[in-house]
Every structure is written in structure tokens, then in C-alpha cells.
Amino acid sequence: MYKPVDPKVVFPKMEEEILKFWNENHIFEKSIKNRADADEYVFYDGPPFATGLPHFGHLVPGTIKDIIPRYITMKGKRVERRFGWDCHGLPVEYEMEKELGISGKTQIEKFGVAKFNEACRSIVLRYTDEWRRIMTRSGRWVDFDHDYKTMDSDYMESIWWVMKSLWDKKLIYKGHYILPTCPRCSTPLSNHELNLGGYKDVHDPAITVRFKSKSEKNTWFLAWTTTPWTLISNLGLSVGPEIDYVKIADKSNGSFYILAEARLGDYFKSEDDYGIEWTKKGSELDGLKYEPIFPYFADHSEKGAFRVFTGAHVSTEDGTGIVHTAPGFGEEDYAVMKGSGVPVVCPVDDEGQFTKEVPDYAGRFVKDCDKDIIKLLKDNGTLIKRDQILHSYPHCWRCDSPLIYKAV
């Protein structure tokens, strides 16, 4: 009544026999053909790069993605499953850069963009056979014979069609993203890449500078930054709306300073060194104007720049509780000033060098200008305090350079 069960079953062998049966009898193909008139169910897998081999991270989601179309098929729908290949972007460029012994946008342009594209095209489908073998062996039903490639003209035309349709519906606008950028590779990095490179502890200057108030006599706002080179692109100061700020008289020089009450201890040794003029919430400082410390973008004053903004990101953990705000170089800075009508300024090129908009530093790598900028601020009385900070800072996974955040 029972079939005897072989106690020495070898599962991989059993799988191979099933795969052989599927293959010889075209079971997957039949599961579609048999439902020629049935409703279609569309399932596209995110296309992988064929410049790398499949790994464990592809197998688990691949199995899950196999289950759903099978289930829908059993419910009676017709599910074609065209596999696709992602042919664009950094993975293939990076492979080709290694092969050609070049690196970065500038060297690629020197090599010739068309030539480089052709070289990439030659390797972009390098591992499709391995993918087919491994995906099939894992029991997955996908159609490799009618695969699509993101480098196919009709595929790219479809993307352009989508863009045009969105454009026609007025759903596209021009904005900025503040992204970590590698100045050596001249490219922005994705969040995923940010994690690949990792954070390293580095020393950076931490300086406090003063911004002269336009409404109160002999009074300055104190702000703190670890990126002195971004001061050139300062367009605002951010305060926390609920944070208590004080205006104090510095007894050593008779000047008045505005900073967070909680940060006073960092700037004065003793309470006898200053007298408090007033205490206000950050929200009460909103809109107060100050004089720009650099001339390059001073004309933005007419467009609403150089005033106090309020932002939830401001804390009293470090600095003065007033954040120097350069919307071209910080995500939070950008968010605070978005919608204010102040144009974003970003006088730094893809290689991390100042552009002609900043004639005094044009062509120099921004971080190399920190020292000169600090010296200038010291000489003209803008620098109040100079420290060093040891903090974790993101680096490029490709070339290990420290990244800079900038608008693209």
C-alpha cells in the first residue's frame, strides 16, 4: 500500500531531477501558454548588474520573488516574467576604471566618453550566463530568453517617455539635493555607498565666529562651525524656536553677544565675566538681520538672506546654539531655508574646488582653504574662539577621501 521510502535521499540530486523535468517538458513556458487568454499579471524584478556574480543577498529575495508569481499563476493569471539587466551606473564604470587603470570623471573625459561607454558595454553582460545558471538552479522561474536591458534604446525611450509625461503634467520641478560627494571621484554617493566607506575619526577645526546684528548696536550673534570653508556661502543663522537665548555684555571688551543660555559656560570661565541684558526664546529672534561676513554673495541680502531662521535641528549640545547656515552644503541648512525665496549658492565644483564666484580662493580645494579663511577671520576680528574637534566623518569607499556635502 505504501511505496517504500529510500532512506538515502540526496536532496540536491532530487532537485536536479525536478529541474530536468521542468526543463525537458517546458513547464514554466506551459504555465504561461496555458493561460493565453487569462488576465495578465505583471511582475518585474529589480534588474541586477551582470558585472557581478549573484550572491546570498540575491538568493533569498529571489526566492521570495519567485513565490508570488507562482501563487498568482495558480490563481489562474498569466504571469510573464522577463528578467532584466541593469547596465547603467557606477558598478560597471568602476569595473572598467579598474581595467583601464583610470579613475574619476576628469580622467574618463580625457579617455573619451564615447570610448569609455563602448568599453563598459563590452563587459556589462559579462556574467549573464552565470546568473542564468544559478537562478535556474535555485528553482526560479524567470524568462531569460526575452530579457530586457536598461541600455536598450526602447527601454531608455520608455524612461524618457515617462519623464516627458510627468513634465507635461507639470509634476517636475527643479530643486537641489544635498548629497555627500567625493571630490576625488567627482561624484555624489548614495546612502548605501556612504555606509560602505564608513566613518573615520578625524580632527577638524571648530571655530566660533561673530555676525554683526543690524538691529542692535554693538551686538553680534555667535555661531559655531567645523567647516570654515562653508562660511563663504553662509546665508543664514538658525536658532531652535524653544531654546533660551541671552544677550550678554562681555565685560572684557564691552561688546554684546547673543548665544544660547545653556552654552555660556563654554565661552566664559566665570559668571562675573558677563552681564545678561535679556533672555528670549529662539522664536522671538526669527527674522533678525545681520551683516554678511564675506562679500561674495552680499547681494543676496535683497532676496531675504542674512537673517535668523528657526529650525528643529538646532540643539545646545555643542557650539553656541546658533547654527551657521549654508543651504548649499547641508541638508538641514537647505531644509531650514527652503521656501524662503533665498537662492541656494554653491560656489564649489565637482572636484571640491571653489569656483570663480569666489575669486580669492578660486581653483583651490575647499578644505585646503580652511587655514587661510581662519586667518582672515582672525585678522578682521570675526573669529571669537578656535578649537579642534575629533569627530567621525564619512569617507569615500572607493578612494578613502573625506567626503563633502554639497548641493547637486
Residues found near Zn ion in the complex (CB under 5 A): 182, 184-185, 396, 398-399, 401
Give the residues across from 392 on adjacent strands. 201
Q: Write the burial class of residue 17 (CB in 10 Å: 0-12 exposed, 13-18 middle, 19+ buried).
A: exposed
Give the residue with the Cβ less far from Zn ion, 369 or 396: 396
Give the residue with the Cβ less far from Zn ion, 285 or 403: 403
Residue 90 beta carbon to Zn ion: minimum distance, rounded to whole angstroms: 11
Neighbouring residues of 324: CB distance < 8 A, sequence distance ≥ 6: 209, 223, 224, 225, 230, 231, 234, 237
Give the residue with the Cβ less far from Zn ion, 58 or 406: 406
Write phi, then psi, for 69 (nearest 5 degrees): -60, -35
- The packing angle between helices 113-123 and 104-111, to 10°, is 100
H/E stretch holding 210 reads strand 199-212
Neighbouring residues of 222: CB distance < 8 A, sequence distance ≥ 6: 208, 209, 210, 211, 257, 258, 259, 267, 320, 322, 384
C-alpha cell at 34: 496555458
Residue 118 beta carbon to Zn ion: minimum distance, rounded to whole angstroms: 24
Give the residue with the Cβ less far from Zn ion, 298 or 399: 399
Residue 98 beta carbon to Zn ion: minimum distance, rounded to whole angstroms: 14
C-alpha cell at 344: 541656494
Residue 96 beta carbon to Zn ion: minimum distance, rounded to whole angstroms: 16
Residue 185 beta carbon to Zn ion: minimum distance, rounded to whole angstroms: 4
Give the residue with the Cβ less far from Zn ion, 188 or 241: 188
- The packing angle between helices 90-100 and 104-111, to 10°, is 70
Give the residue with the Cβ less far from Zn ion, 186 or 301: 186
Instruction: Output DSSP code: residue 358.
Output: S
Write phi, then psi, for 60 (nearest 5 degrees): -65, -55
Rg (CA), the chain: 30
Residue 150 beta carbon to Zn ion: minimum distance, rounded to whole angstroms: 24
Residue 358 beta carbon to Zn ion: minimum distance, rounded to whole angstroms: 23
Residue 184 beta carbon to Zn ion: minimum distance, rounded to whole angstroms: 4
Give the residue with the Cβ less far from Zn ion, 384 or 403: 403
Of the candidates 90, 117, 327, 51, the one whose C-alpha atom is nearest the C-alpha of residue 186 is 90
Across the beta sheet with 178-182, the strand order is 187-188, 178-182, 404-407
Q: How many Cβ atoms sit within 10 Å of the Cβ of residue 197?
A: 20
Distance CA 406, CA 188 (A): 9
Half-sphere CA count of 42, side-chain side, radius 13 A:
2
Give the residue with the Cβ less far from Zn ion, 185 or 285: 185
Of the candidates 109, 121, 36, the one whose C-alpha atom is nearest the C-alpha of residue 79 is 36
Give the residue with the Cβ less far from Zn ion, 48 or 352: 352
Q: How many Cβ atoms sit within 10 Å of the Cβ of residue 150?
A: 16
Give the residue with the Cβ less far from Zn ion, 231 or 396: 396
